[in-house]
């Protein structure tokens, strides 16, 4: 329990959810994600006493790294990237049960060594443990890893009881519908759906989870959460950074694959879903899939539902920034988008006629992820006199990063003898109410996977439904090359085409 008197809202919270004895195996253990997110997440779970007493960490990778060296690498990652300072006592508990196995991802013998190692841990412990495999590798080796887990018997360990094998798969889950279907096919050869945890770290963020709480636990919102009262929804996922040294990767990805199809569509689903019958994982995921299936095919004609663009040179933070085509590793005639804007239409009773606008881009004015729900304007008969009344639409916005919280824009009276109005903002910030040391998304998601809670993970049919919507867009853009590619200066909020997309329905983009 929390003993911090400055944040009374944290008092009385449980620190344990019944995590069983667990071995976590990280494939890609020497990679960047492991260092920046996974090792710090495990350390912080240990710090909060959320790991089981019998916990083992096994790194697996192509590099031949001695156990002690891997522990040293993990220790360095905690010192550099953990949200908490190193606690030697906590780290020593984790380090004592941390080992490393070297091997290829398509090497059956290495997987047999891994299986023997896990069996030896069980024998030493004198009891069964569950094994959680975290696939943190390039997508090209997802299938070999999965097939080898099946071939050596690791996928079927303790199948039929609560200690069955679980597998976390990092994004990208496919690069289009065909590849996503193929990957799901490999998974079905080896695993049952309840063993699979397709991770999207956005779903582990506090504000994303709070979206469901705000919707379904406050009677002032749910009655208004429909086409009768909501005018439109804007979802922005913007970054200040460019592609940096990842030009080669980004050329094969682009904004649509990198952010829209996965992160942003998860935000759409949670915003638009119907109330689930319970908080059971399948009940929540069923409603998310229903929303995605109700989205209408996109109009790909010029002036339709999609806009793409690349950033040109500009200014970021008072410093010059070069354009995308001048970045290292980028083809001179690249047709890869660094910005995408989409207008979605959801064809169901709740959202008919309410557009959902999505945008995501690099080298934009600032880093922010926000869901903004704009309500319809009230009738202007009472406050319609020119100049005296500044009426703004009520807007509820969820700030997901960098400053987690939510705000509500209302119209209020300006103090004085005359009746004048102006918009006012009511703010809630997690850091102010609960303290600034909010758990990282990966902490929540790794813990959920260990205890078998799939609520915040993506189901196979959900991934395929999202790809079904966007694969025609990707094919159309690939066929068009650079034709129709818009541009925007680095440090701006996007291209003119995105403004035109909104203007067709009388809307404008917010500046978060």
For the annotated catalytic residues, the residue numbers are 263
Please state, as a whole number, how many other Cβ atoms lie within 10 Å of the Cβ of residue 88.
9
* Tokens at 400, concatenated: 């997901």
Taking alpha carbons only, the member of 121, 116, 115, 46 closest to residue 78 is 46
Q: Give the N- to C-terminal CA distance of the chain in Å, as an integer.
A: 35
Contact 157, 417 (CB under 8 A): no
Omega within 30 of 0 (cis) for the link into 172 = yes
In contact, 235 and 266? CB cutoff 8 Å? no
Query: What is the crossing angle of helices 460-480 and 177-190, to 10°?
Result: 150
Within 10 angstroms of residue 423's Cβ, the number of other Cβ atoms is 14
Burial annotation 464-496 (CB, 10 A radius, 16+ → b, else e): bbbbbbbbebbeebeeeeeebbbbbbbbbbbbe
Backbone dihedral region for residue 113 (phi beyond 0: left; psi -120 to 50: alpha; all else: beta)? alpha
Distance of CA 200 to CAs 153, 258, 450, 505, Å? 27, 12, 16, 32
DSSP letters spanning 98-125: EEEEE--TT-HHHHHHHHHHHHHHHHHH
**Of 273, 270, 242, 256, nearest to 488 (Cα)?**
242
Per-residue CA distances from 51 to 18, 277, 503 (Å): 9, 30, 51
- C-alpha dihedral over 42, 91, 36, 118, to 10 degrees? -50
CA distance 134 to 374: 39
Distance from C-alpha of 446 to C-alpha of 468, rounded to nearest angstrom: 28
Report whether 501 contacts 343 (CB < 8 A). Answer: yes
CA separation (Å) from 99 to 30, 69, 384, 429?
Answer: 13, 10, 71, 40
For the chain, what percentages of helix, strand and coil (3-state, to nearest 5) are there? 40, 20, 40
Phi/psi of residue 287, nearest 5 degrees: -70, -35
In whole angstroms, what is the distance from residue 398 CA to residue 370 CA? Answer: 6
CB distance 471 to 261 below 8 Å? no
């Amino acid at each position: 329990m929390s003993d911090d008197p400055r944040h009374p809202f944290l008092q009385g919270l449980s620190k344990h959810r019944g995590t069983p004895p667990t071995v976590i195996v990280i494939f890609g253990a020497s990679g960047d994600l492991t260092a920046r997110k996974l090792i710090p997440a495990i350390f912080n779970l240990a710090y909060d006493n959320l790991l089981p007493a019998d916990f083992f960490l096994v790194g697996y990778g192509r590099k031949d790294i001695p156990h002690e060296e891997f522990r040293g690498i993990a220790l360095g990652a905690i010192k550099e990237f953990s949200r908490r300072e190193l606690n030697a006592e906590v780290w020593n508990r984790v380090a004592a049960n941390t080992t490393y196995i070297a091997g290829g991802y398509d090497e059956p013998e290495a997987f047999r060594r891994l299986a023997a190692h896990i069996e030896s841990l069980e024998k030493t412990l004198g009891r069964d443990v569950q094994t959680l495999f975290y696939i943190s590798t390039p997508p090209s080796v997802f299938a070999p890893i999965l097939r080898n887990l099946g071939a050596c018997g690791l996928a079927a360990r303790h199948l039929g009881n609560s200690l069955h094998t679980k597998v976390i798969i990092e994004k990208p889950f496919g690069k289009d519908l065909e590849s996503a279907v193929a990957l799901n096919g490999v998974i079905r050869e080896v695993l049952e759906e309840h063993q699979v945890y397709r991770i999207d770290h956005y779903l582990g963020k506090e504000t994303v989870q709070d979206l469901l709480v705000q919707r379904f636990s406050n009677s002032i919102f749910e009655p208004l959460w429909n086409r009768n009262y909501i005018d439109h929804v804007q979802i922005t996922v913007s970054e200040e950074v460019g592609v940096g040294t990842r030009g080669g990767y980004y050329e094969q990805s682009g904004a649509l694959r990198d952010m829209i199809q996965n992160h942003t569509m998860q935000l759409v689903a949670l915003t638009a879903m119907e109330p689930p019958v319970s908080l059971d994982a399948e009940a929540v995921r069923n409603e998310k899939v229903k929303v995605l299936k109700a989205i209408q095919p996109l109009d790909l004609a010029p002036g339709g539902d999609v806009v793409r663009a690349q950033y040109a040179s500009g200014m970021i933070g008072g410093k010059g920034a070069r354009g995308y085509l001048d970045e290292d590793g980028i083809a001179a005639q690249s047709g890869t988008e660094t910005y995408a804007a989409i207008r979605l239409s959801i064809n169901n009773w709740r959202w008919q006629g309410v557009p959902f606008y999505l945008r995501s881009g690099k080298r934009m004015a600032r880093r922010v992820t926000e869901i903004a729900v704009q309500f319809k304007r009230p009738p202007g008969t009472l406050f319609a006199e020119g100049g005296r009344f500044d009426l703004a639409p009520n807007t509820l916005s969820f700030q997901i990063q960098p400053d987690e919280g939510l705000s509500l824009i209302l119209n209020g009276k300006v103090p004085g003898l005359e009746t004048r109005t102006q918009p006012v903002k009511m703010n809630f910030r997690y850091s102010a109410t609960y303290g600034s040391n909010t758990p990282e998304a990966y902490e929540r998601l790794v813990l959920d996977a260990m205890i078998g809670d799939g609520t915040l993970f993506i189901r196979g049919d959900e991934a395929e439904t999202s790809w079904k919507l966007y694969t025609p867009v990707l094919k159309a853009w690939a066929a068009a090359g650079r034709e129709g590619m818009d541009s925007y200066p680095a440090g701006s909020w996007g291209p003119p085409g995105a403004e035109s997309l909104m203007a067709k329905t009388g809307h404008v983009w917010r500046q978060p």
